[in-house]
Amino acid sequence: MNRFWLPVVLLVVLLLAGCAGGTASSEQDKGEGLAKEAAREAGAGEDIAAGKSAGAANSALEPIASSEQPATATGAGEEHAPGADEPAPKSTGLAERQVTLWVTRDYAFEQVYGGKAALIPDDSVMDIMQAGNLEVTTQYGGGFVESINGLASGYTGKDKETRDWFFYINGIIASVGAVDYRPAGGDVIWWDYHDWGRAIFTPALIGAFPEPFLGGYKGDNPGTLVLAAAGYEEQGNELAECLRHWGVENVEVRPYCREKVAHRDRITLVVGLWEQFADQRFWQGAQKNRQKTGLFVEFNRDYIAALNMSGEIVERHSEDAGAIVATGAGMGDPTPLWLVTGLDRAGLDGAVDIITGNPGAIKQRFGAVVAGGKVIGVPVAN
């Protein structure tokens, strides 16, 4: 972005960020669901740039002290094994005195840094970042991260892509700046450097599991509602028990209800076959507006496809396929929406089994397709 306009954009963003959240606009058409919610946050036309800057300028600052060495890079097709920087249940005393910091690039295709940091009372994300082990440059009084380890914001590369730093708390894109967010013990602070030109918003990510179910956002955890489609109550109960195992409190399982999805008052996890949701305008709208809902999976009655960051199909799976994705109503939504689904029972069970039995396989994923026992992180690298 032209640096002449950046201070103006940042000012607009900070004003907009105060309005971010999980409630629906009074003008929202109920049938359009997430598409309308995200559009409300993103605005239109030139407001798109402001939406981008809210994620970047509010997400960018400096790294953090840790006794661990930075993790090695991991490809998008590889499984992440649980390790020392895995999120820890917040019930442990150690977790209350630490946060997890991840720094990745290109939608988490490569990890730049991974570690723990001590949490001092009243520390901001900025304070934690400035403790540390990364080379960070800032602009505009320290409120905008210009670069981390040489990865700089702006129009970069041969294609002049619009790359910036974005940060997420417990898998939810931040609605305030790094100097204003005070994390809690056990929180996952996740920075990613990516092109935002073709995906303005990625409101929520799955790769910090068991967050956001455990810690929520900005100290607000309204509880978790698991909505199980007819015939898949067993899978809903399995997911609820898994969350309770991680220490998540206030988990309720109910039959699937579209109204509960479109007007959420809790963190919501939907489980069922895709064919049970395919005709609903809510889910159709979520797919048609991927730039704002951040869904890099294409759902069809005949296949589930993994997309790249341009929204193009890279892999298509027509049997025994499932998916795990998350989205939300723009920045700072305290009630994000997760979808665990499949083309058939085998595909759905495969996705459920990843969460309940091998959550390390979705670590640092924006979303995932599960096929033949393999986890394909999305978006897939170009």
In order of their start, the domains of the chain are 56-195 (2.170.130.30), 224-378 (3.30.379)
Residue type, 314: V
pLDDT tens-digit series, residues 182-205: 999 999 999 999 987 777 789 999
Selection from 283, 332, 293 nearest residue 200 by Cα: 293
Q: What is the pLDDT of residue 344?
A: 97
Q: What is the pLDDT of residue 87?
A: 54
Cα three-residue angle 182-183-186, rounded to 5 degrees:
165
Q: What is the pLDDT of residue 378?
A: 96
Q: Which residues of the chain have pLDDT under 70?
A: 1-95, 132-133, 142-143, 155-161
SS3 171: coil
Q: Which two tokens stand for residue 260?
A: 């509960």
34 to each of 63, 155, 289, 304, 326, how far by Cα in Å? Answer: 33, 29, 8, 20, 11
Q: What is the pLDDT of residue 148?
A: 81
The count of other CB atoms within 10 Å of the CB of residue 69 is 10
Q: What is the pLDDT of residue 25?
A: 36
SS3 234: helix
Q: Which two tokens stand for residue 193?
A: 């450097």
Q: DSSP E strands: which ranges in the chain?
A: 98-105, 110-118, 136-139, 144-148, 151-152, 154-156, 161-169, 172-173, 188-195, 224-228, 251-255, 267-273, 297-299, 304-307, 313-317, 321-327, 337-342, 367-371, 374-378
- Give residue for tokens 């100290």: 219
Most distant CA atoms of the chain, gap in Å: 57
Q: Is the peptide bond before 212 cis (omega within 30 degrees of 0)?
A: yes
